[in-house]
Chains A and B, each alone.
Chain A
Amino acid sequence: MRHQPSLYGLLAEFDDPDKLVAAARRVREVGYRRVDAYSPYPVEELADALGFQQPWIPLTVLIGGIAGAVGGYLLQYYALVVDYPLNVGGRPLHTCSARLFGESRRLNTPTTSRSA
């Protein structure tokens, strides 16, 4: 008994990126959604023609950046204020500007931290 496989999908090949974009646009207009296109180099309009968005990449970068900044600050706070407070001439332990901008370094003793 011969089994006739059901139609899985359709594949078309184009010899010009403009034709590919036009086809992608048309396919989407007709209402197809589970579509993808392949190209050996980036074709600018193709992703838009297929209605493909990628909002989570910038969001991931933003969250990673904020987490890194907050984590770095907390690490320094823990090291310099909580776990190993070092009294250098009575100067404050939590020196926000010194560690963020390197500004008030010249208030500290000049030679002690210049390790050789």
Chain B
Amino acid sequence: MLRGTPRGWYVGFGVAFALVMLLMLAVTYLLVRGVGIWGVNIPVAWGVAIVNFVWWIGIGHAGTLISAILLLLRQQWRTSINRFAEAMTLLAVACAGLFPLLHLGRPWFFYWLMPYPNTMGLWPQFRSPLVWDVFAITTYGTVSLLFWYVGLIPDLATLRDRAQRRLAQLIYGFLAMGWRGSTRHWRRYETAYFLIAALATPLVVSVHTVVSFDFAIGILPGWHSTIFPPYFVAGALFSGFAGADHRHSSPHRVRAGRLHHPASPGQHGQDHARQRAVRRLESQPI
């Protein structure tokens, strides 16, 4: 279970790292030259950026749906995939957030999209889909982070209890929020977790509906289509399920496996025989 990082992982990581560096170069060139390098112009104000944006948001949505809906339906097997799915969602939202920022033309003024009292006396235009985007992404990012974090709390307590180094003990101890495995803790945890899942599920539909409004609200031919909101949500689920499946079967699994030690108490629904096996495991020196 706890084997070392295989050589193939470093190869894969190297390839991915090189591609990220290529992205950095491309972004630098974009910032220097402007969005014209994408071949976009008015009335089509964003092309490659909105494609990437929609794609990443869709990937993220499936992670939320897998995790939240399976929890709401009390499907116990979700514990084998929910952490991958939620982590995938968080990272996908971060990637998605890049592209509306990059397409702004002057991304260094992105904070003008936030409603805050400023010396210019200006407010964001709440009738613009670009502002809806900002609120959709920040809301979705916040809920995804909370969902992931609340589910992680019992596992963070396990990490705290097993940490050897002082710094790790302090960090995990802080993040575990005083978890002791009391029945009261479990009851509060399950109530809160369930409620966040119930909030996250309709959010998937509303966020991707807003994403589709980036197209559908414009009256440009080819962009304006009333079928887009349901079409986008359905498309997101297909691509995202593929993403979660891929993540599940990637070398990443080996590393995530450490967090996902079956002895961690956050795993619901293990039968008692498995728990006994886990206890035997725990009694052995690690």
Residues in chain A within 8 A of chain B (CB atoms)? 16-17, 24, 36-43, 46-47, 50, 52, 54, 57-58, 61, 65, 75-76, 79-80, 83-84, 86, 95, 98-99, 102, 105-106, 108, 110-111, 113-116
Contacts and interface: CB of A to CB of B under 8 A. Distances in A.
8 contacts: A50-B183, A54-B187, A54-B191, A57-B195, A79-B126, A110-B219, A116-B42, A116-B103
A41 B270 contact: yes
Interface residues of B, number: 47
Contacts of A84: 121-123
Interface string B87-117: 0000000000000000111000000000100
A87 to B, nearest CB: 13
Contacts of B213: 102
B190 interface: yes
A58 B199 CA distance: 12
B25 interface: no
Given A36-B184, A47-B186, A98-B127, A106 B217 contact: yes
A15 to B, nearest CB: 9
A116 B183 contact: no
A37 B123 contact: no
Given A42-B186, A79-B124, A83-B123, 7 more contacts: A41-B265, A52-B184, A52-B187, A79-B123, A84-B122, A113-B127, A115-B128
Nearest to B196: A61
B122 A114 contact: no
A73 B192 CA distance: 26
A61 B192 CA distance: 9
B38 to A, nearest CB: 11
B218 interface: yes
Nearest to A72: B135
Contacts of B219: 106, 110
B82 interface: no
